[in-house]
A and B are shown apart, each in its own frame.
Chain A
Amino acid sequence: MEKVITANGLTKKFGDFAAVDHITFDVNKGEIFGFLGANGAGKTTAMRMLCGLLMPSSGQATVAGFDVYKQNELIKKNIGYMSQKFSLYEDLTLGENIRFYGGIYGLTDKQIDEKSYLLLHQLNMEHQEKILVKELPLGWKQKLAFSIAIVHDPAIVFLDEPTGGVDPVARREFWNLIYEASARGITIFVTTHYMDEAEYCNRVSVMVDGRIDALDSPLNLMKAHNAASMDEVFLQLARKAVRTDN
């Protein structure tokens, strides 16, 4: 199976503190991979290394076939990223946001026009390109942000708590977009605090104190921990944490 992420002993130290401590895992093409962990477990640091934004202290990793040490600029071009905190420019219109991100990722004007049409059509937002992003409800904003994060058909998209605060219906519509993207071969790397969402993933890893403590399909994790839900699995694992989020 084609690997979109490989990490081998990937480590990041800040002084003596190993924020990420020798993590080793692979993510397959088209997979929905849930990256779980308590606040302070090292998720954000790991994600920043994989996105080419932070140099590792040691270990190896490739993302979309590129090396995190030597080819981090190429990584940035071949991934998509969105988070709960930052996704789109609020004071630009929908159309302007699509044009801006399309431009950044090097799409031609013709490609941007085509993509704009397809994207707005898929979201049932035709003829709304002149609306300012800040006027959209959060659920719509996040669905739009996701679609824009994959406007350049990246090998992989990183989603950092994309559905926080989103209403329950919009949250499910958001996951529908994730399924569709994954069916098109885009790999999804997602963090969430909603444990029902962890159950939608093909495989899930749980970070505890900078290490990956468990990695398997939700079903196998539940079996192995004798738990009825991922919520229980997570609580069992995260409670073992020694370090707090300081």
Chain B
Amino acid sequence: MKAITVENIVKTYRIKKGVVEALNDISFSVDRGEIFGIIGPDGAGKTSLFRVLTTLLRADSGTATIDGFDVIKGYKQIRNRVGYMPGRFSLYQDLSVQENLEFFAAIFDTTIAQNYDLIKEIYQQIEPFKARKAGQLSGGMKQKLALCCALIHKPSVLFLDEPTTGVDAVSRKEFWEMLHRLKIQGITILVSTAYMDEASLCDKVALMQKGRLLSVNTTQGIIAQFKKTIWAIKATEMFRLMNELKNSEAIESCYPFGQYHHVVFKPAANNSELLKNIAVRGHFTQFEMKQIEPGIEDCFMELMQA
């Protein structure tokens, strides 16, 4: 049995001037024990999707199941077996660390001791502050407490809505290492993020933009579907180089990627000669060009503009 199935889910919101299609015919499934990433920018519909799947929001149409239970008919069973960490810190700010954890254990009819193994590694990092009010914790500590509270009843499926937003590169890496250890313990994880580089840490990803899924696959699978050749180009004069490339009729797209610009040619263009010409004509210094493998962000940008 699949841990999560989603079929043709549609969710719209009415606002003053019309209708916003938050989820537009979304379908995918997640295998048991998988880390599945929903990758997309702000406004893609990630939070609406999480709220539908955790039974907090009713879709307009379509069906979805968690562990075989329907999100409408089986909402009580689902609520007992999923853990949910919303994007916004939603614990009780005026309860202490320990009180929050005890509270969540109690409403799931369990105790901290019963599932301590699962949270031990994470909880030990916040234990020195267990008497502190949750509202007075730092961002990183709040995140760890929220994760402990979402895990205290040993959920079979864990929903993490943008757990790494605003988190620095080192802490993000540690957080993902933590998720991989939870996966080993058999927990299925659905995690959303706006950081494209986190896609490679998931078993499978769905790329999402403006309420639609652009692609569902493994990271390698998505990259393999990218059929165009990408050139990475750099010179000392990066900004001028960008403008020259954008002005060239033969070039389909050109975007900065760290130290390089990534360039895709229109199908008929003669790639390498053309680039060399641009370099010579523009008198660029330390000009460098090479063909590269696309990354997930290249793929996302290609798909979102298709």
Contacts and interface: CB of A to CB of B under 8 A. Distances in A.
Interface of A: 37-40, 84, 135, 137-139, 161, 164-170, 172, 175-176, 179, 183, 193-196, 199-200, 218-219, 229-231, 234-235, 238-239, 241, 244-246
B13 interface: no
A200 B169 contact: no
Contacts of A38: 168-171
What are the 10 A-B residue pairs with the smallest beta carbon separation, nearest first?
Answer: A167-B41, A199-B258, A196-B258, A165-B42, A138-B42, A38-B168, A245-B138, A238-B170, A165-B194, A245-B140
A217 B31 CA distance: 45
B165 A165 contact: yes
A37 B40 CA distance: 25
Interface in B272-306: 297, 300-301, 304-305
Contacts of B195: 194
Given A193-B169, A230-B258, A239-B170, A169 B301 contact: yes
Given A39-B138, A245-B139, A245-B140, A170 B41 contact: yes
22 contacts: A37-B168, A39-B168, A137-B42, A137-B43, A139-B42, A164-B165, A164-B194, A165-B42, A165-B165, A166-B194, A168-B41, A169-B301, A169-B305, A172-B255, A175-B256, A196-B256, A199-B258, A234-B170, A238-B168, A238-B170, A245-B138, A246-B138
Contacts of B44: 167
Nearest to A200: B256
A161 B166 contact: yes
A194 B258 CA distance: 10
A156 to B, nearest CB: 19
B209 interface: yes
Nearest to B169: A234
A183 B305 CA distance: 29
Contacts of B258: 195-196, 199-200, 229-230
Contact of B167 (A39, A170, A219): A39
A42 B186 CA distance: 38
Nearest to A166: B41
A164 B301 contact: no
B92 interface: no
B259 A199 contact: yes
Nearest to A230: B258
Nearest to A85: B166
Contacts, number: 101
A138 B162 CA distance: 16
Given A169-B304, A245-B171, 10 more contacts: A38-B169, A39-B171, A40-B140, A137-B42, A139-B42, A165-B41, A176-B242, A219-B259, A229-B259, A245-B141
A168 B166 contact: no
A144 B235 CA distance: 30
Contacts of B194: 164-166
Contacts of A196: 256-258
Nearest to A238: B170
Nearest to B171: A39
B173 interface: yes
A179 B239 CA distance: 7
A219 to B, nearest CB: 8
B170 to A, nearest CB: 4
A138 B167 contact: no
Nearest to B298: A168
A84 B166 CA distance: 9
A235 B42 contact: no
Interface string B11-39: 00000010000000000000000000000
A138 B41 contact: yes
A206 B196 CA distance: 23
Interface in B131-176: 137-141, 162, 165-173
A33 to B, nearest CB: 16
A139 B166 contact: no
Interface in B51-88: none
A235 B169 contact: yes
B129 A164 contact: no
A246 B256 contact: no
Contact of A244 (B17, B140, B166, B301): B140
